[in-house]
Amino acid sequence: MGVVTPRSNGRTPLVAVQNVRHFYKRGTSSNLVVLEDVNLSLYNGEIVALLGRSGSGKSTLLRIISGLLTPSEGEVSVESKRVDGPADGLAMVFQSFALFPWLTVQENVEIGLEAQGVRAEERKKRALAAIDLIGLDGFESAYPKELSGGMRQRVGLARALVVDPKVLLMDEPFSALDVLTAETLRTDLLDLWMEGRMPIKSILLVTHNIEEAVLMSDRILVFSSNPGRVIAEIKVNLPQPRNRVDPAFRAMVD
Ligand code: ADP
Ligand code: MG
């Protein structure tokens, strides 16, 4: 690993965050400045980790990138088009899974496609493919409460992947899981990524876990607190394949 300067290489970034500043209103007079002059680019083919402490504004930044929240200043563009409202081509995976408890696995996965107006038959086909890809074959009719944490996050992943996003935004996706489950899910995700089986071009992984950032990413953006901004970029050069879980170990976990 070595510290490198931000790169552009003349390529167009998939996602570009430019001069983003964000504050939350606090009472009548004071504002809480959470993000200050945040700049980052995400390129085709890379996994980037955004590493920062709890409360540093990582989730706020992801909400801004996904278009769910408008920044106080600055802008986000996806493939050079300025984002103004929920952005096409991006999908999010949440720390707490954010599944609907009254819907089955399949219904939870189909949700995003329903919003896009995809017809029922096509929705089913795509949802089943995503469920199968993520290793939940046979659990289509189960409800979230019947699943382990790791399986619930697999549903979260399938629901993100089913819309065919270009970029996956992951907000501490493994931090609600025990270490063994987190390790297994990380490995499965990396396998799918390295085998090119996920229809995505890039991943932005938000984490407060240094080891996870090193194992999962090609580049680490170090994020400061109070206010949050990217203060360093570290290039990761681990031998491939990364983050292997021993099959015997996996048999114990599954
Ligand atoms: P992180 O994801 O890095 O833990 P967050 O983006 O969730 O950080 O929060 C950054 C700061 O902004 C925290 O101090 C948090 O309390 C505050 N905050 C987050 N969301 C809101 C909100 N909707 N209104 C007011 N303050 C918020
Ligand atoms: Mg957060």
Q: What is the pLDDT of residue 80?
A: 92
Asked which of 64-73, 154-163, 192-201 is least confident by mean pLDDT, the reply is 192-201
* Inter-residue contact 202 to 15 (CB < 8 Å): yes
Q: How many Å lie between the centroid of ligand 1 and the Cα of residue 193?
A: 30
Host H or E run for residue 185: helix 179-194
| Alpha-carbon gap, residue 157 to 162, rounded angstroms | 9
| 3-class secondary structure, 95 | coil
Query: For residue range 190-247, what is the model confidence (pLDDT) as tens digits?
Result: 999 988 999 899 999 999 999 999 999 999 999 999 999 999 999 998 776 555 555 5
What is the pLDDT of the chain when averaged over all its residues? 90
pLDDT in tens, 78-115: 999 998 888 889 999 999 999 999 999 999 999 989 98
Centre of ligand 1 to C-alpha 165, Å, is 26
At residue 121, the 3 state secondary structure works out as: helix
Tokens standing for 44?
């085709």
- Regarding the beta carbon of 24 and ligand 1, being less than 6 Å apart is answered yes
Q: What is the signed CA dihedral for 95, 101, 104, 106, rounded to 10 degrees?
A: -30
Sheet with 15-26, strands from edge to edge, namely 30-42, 15-26, 73-78, 81-82
26 lines ligand 1 (CB under 6 A): no
Does the ipTM exceed 0.90?
yes
Report CA(134)–ligand 1 centroid distance (Å). Answer: 31
The helix/strand/coil state of 79 is: coil
* Residue 208 CA, closest ligand 1 atom number: 3
DSSP assignment letter at 145: G
42 and 48 Cβ atoms separated by less than 8 Å:
yes
Ligand 1 proximity of 144 Cβ (cutoff 6 Å): no
Most ligand 1 atoms within 8 A of CB, residue of 23, 30, 32, 221 to mutate: 32
148/83 Cα distance (integer angstroms): 35
Q: Give residue 1's pLDDT.
A: 41
| pLDDT for the residue 87 | 83
**Whole-angstrom distance, CA of residue 41 vs CA of residue 107:** 34
- Look at ligand 1, atom 16, and give the residue with the nearest C-alpha: 55
Tell me the ligand closest to 94's alpha carbon.
2
Question: Smallest Cα–Cα separation from 216: which of 246, 193, 200?
Answer: 193
Q: How many Å apart are CA 149 and CA 165, to the nearest integer?
A: 24
